[in-house]
Amino acid sequence: MLETLQQWDRELLVFLNNLGSTPFDGFWVFVTRIESWIALFCFFAFLIFYYYKRKQALIVLVMAVLSFAVTFGLAELTKEVVGRWRPNNLESLASSLRVLQQPESFSFFSGHASTSFAIVTFLVLALRTFNRRIYWAYLWPLFFSLSRIYVGVHYPSDILVGALVGTVIALVLHRICNLLLSRAKMTSA
């Protein structure tokens, strides 16, 4: 059963990756770089300070950064424990892919997917009562995560598991954040 799932994972990766074409390569390589999103992170920080009072904003910002840090750490630890090779590092598979990057670290689960879904889920939960359009922020992790398949460095299961892990961590840390915000309100009242 596990071998069948892995085979489907490989076949889906090859199919999705080969949908790409040279004119779009530059766009997807740009999208997959974390530096490309710095302006979005600044915008997220602005929104936090716009909608929350100073002390509350600091709590929300610290918890958002913590959601990134915890998720990133767990992704890196899991990669080392599981030790799944990236598709671009397997000769048998790389020859069937359009490989646009060559990372050599392990694959499972995607740090790009997990951290981006953690940050956005946390921010959506923190800001949704102030602005319903915050749900559009989910476009970032979708593009960011799918770029990893496009450039040939992650399996679809890496992305799916990463997105789920990031979302769960964000849900837990948002709950903790709400407790901290409640305590901050009581001490300032």
pTM over 0.85: yes
Rounded distance, CA 172 to CA 168, Å?
A: 6
Neighbours of 129 (CB within 10 A): 9
Tokens of residue 8, six digits: 């489907």
At 188 the pLDDT is: 64
At 129 the pLDDT is: 94
At 80 the pLDDT is: 95
Give me the residues of the chain with pLDDT under 50, please: none
Instruction: Tell me how many degrees the CA angle 68-28-97 measures, rounded to the nearest 5.
Output: 105
Rounded distance, CA 70 to CA 18, Å?
A: 33
Start-end of H helices in 37-127 = 38-51, 54-82, 91-94, 111-127
Give the model confidence (pLDDT) of 46-99 as tens digits.
999 999 999 999 999 999 999 999 999 999 999 999 999 999 888 888 788 998
**What's the DSSP call for residue 52?**
S
